[in-house]
Amino acid sequence: MKIFTDESGDFSLKNSTRPSMVASLICTEDMYEGIKRFMNTMEKRYNGGAEIKGSDLTYEQRLHVCEFLKKNSDHLKVTMTIVLPSVVTHEDLNLFRTNQADTFQKNKDWYINAGGKVQKVLEEYDRIAKLAMYQSRLSDEEFLQALLLTQQMERVIKFCIVYFMERKHRRYFKDFIFLFDRKLPNKLSAMEKYVLNYVKAFLDGKSKMGMTIPIPNVWKTGHPFIDRYMITMEDGREAFFLNELLKNFEFEDSKNDPGLRMVDIISNTIYQHVLNPNNLEIAQCYDTLQYALGYQNRMSQFHIILKKSFSLLKRE
């Protein structure tokens, strides 16, 4: 399974009324070659073979992409996470950052009380607490973007399970490849480093604290998802080995992958519809896209509700 993710919006909650969002395109391995052919043909036809950005598309070009997604919606699915300043305020984000820094300190205390003495681990706890607390280390916009990506990854995994539950899809669960549109050429941004160095580890820790992702009862031993990513804890509880599931997790320049270029178009289309719901051309593209979203009528909007803090997570 390949998952391509892109963002739209400025991720600012201060003096802003504009939404920010993260969109993901879930693609089965059988469909990836189809995406490559489609995007290469489209870019040769309309842009001399160069990369096409969603913000530059005409109505006809945008609709052409959405019709491709509709036609192949059995193998292509789209999911997203949206945050609106009217729902989550800048003050909410500041409170969340403070509480998260406190949670990281509790994790450090937990580690020490359990007998942990490795200096590098203690320094790592201090470092991540400062990243959560201080805008000078990680801006509010970068922190919110990382938070949306974290929420989105949980939703993507659930979405894969729901829409590819049937036996005929089981082989797609052997491997997961997560690709994110990198923002800077030749290097990672502060947000991207934060996600790679910390968010992946804490997602894995969260999964080991209990079954947070429902698994179909029909999936038994022998299903690749069960065999590769499920573990039994010492107390008998079942949990996910998300470090294994997320091992292919990279930020890549969109010019190097047609899946990232397609999800850029998807993200821009949904974003433009949220901004301008009365634009009839964008609305037509959005309605066509809904088949890949899993809906045939009005699609529900998902907004982040910031929790006071993450659950306590124990780093091994």
Asked if the structure places residue 306 within a domain, the reply is: no
Asked if the structure places residue 203 within a domain, the reply is: yes
Question: pLDDT tier at 84 (50, 70, 90 boundaries)?
Answer: confident
Is a pLDDT exceeding 90 seen at residue 162? no
Domains in the chain, number: 1
Amino acid at 77: K
49-53, 70-74, 81-85, 285-289: least confidently modelled range: 81-85
Specify the pTM. Answer: 0.87
Residue 305 CB-half CA count within 13 A:
2
Q: What percent of the chain has pLDDT over 90?
A: 35
CA separation for the pair 86, 240 (Å, rounded):
35
Contact 164, 233 (CB under 8 A): no
Is a pLDDT exceeding 50 seen at residue 315? no
Contact 62, 269 (CB under 8 A): yes
Amino acid 132: pLDDT? 83
Report residue 134 as tokens.
């201080």
CA separation for the pair 187, 110 (Å, rounded):
34
CA separation for the pair 219, 242 (Å, rounded):
18
The tokens 């400025």 sit on which residue?
10
Contact 225, 173 (CB under 8 A): yes
Q: What is the mean pLDDT of residues 122-128?
A: 85
Asked if the structure places residue 279 within a domain, the reply is: yes
CA separation for the pair 161, 215 (Å, rounded):
7
Is a pLDDT exceeding 80 seen at residue 30? yes
The tokens 């509010």 sit on which residue?
140
Asked if the structure places residue 311 within a domain, the reply is: no
Amino acid 295: pLDDT? 56
The tokens 């997790």 sit on which residue?
249
Asked if the structure places residue 308 within a domain, the reply is: no
> Given strand 20-27, what is the order of strands in its sheet?
76-83, 20-27, 2-8, 177-181, 249-252
Q: Which residues contact 266 (CB under 8 A, 6 or more apart)?
A: 6, 23, 25, 54, 65, 69, 78, 289
Report residue 178 as tokens.
């997560």
Ramachandran region, residue 15 (left: φ > 0; alpha: ψ -120 to 50; beta: rest): left
Helix (H) or strand (E) run with residue 7 in it: strand 2-8
Q: What is the mean pLDDT of residues 288-305?
A: 61
DSSP code of 19?
-
Q: What is the mean pLDDT of residues 26-34?
A: 93
CA separation for the pair 4, 177 (Å, rounded):
8
Amino acid 212: pLDDT? 63
Asked if the structure places residue 146 within a domain, the reply is: yes
The tokens 């480093």 sit on which residue?
193
Looking at residue 180, which CATH number applies to its domain? 3.30.420.10
Asked if the structure places residue 273 within a domain, the reply is: yes
**Which tens digit of pLDDT belongs to each residue from 266-289?**
999 999 999 999 999 999 999 999
Asked if the structure places residue 303 within a domain, the reply is: no
Amino acid 302: pLDDT? 46
Task: Tell me which residue range forms the domain holding 268.
Answer: 2-293
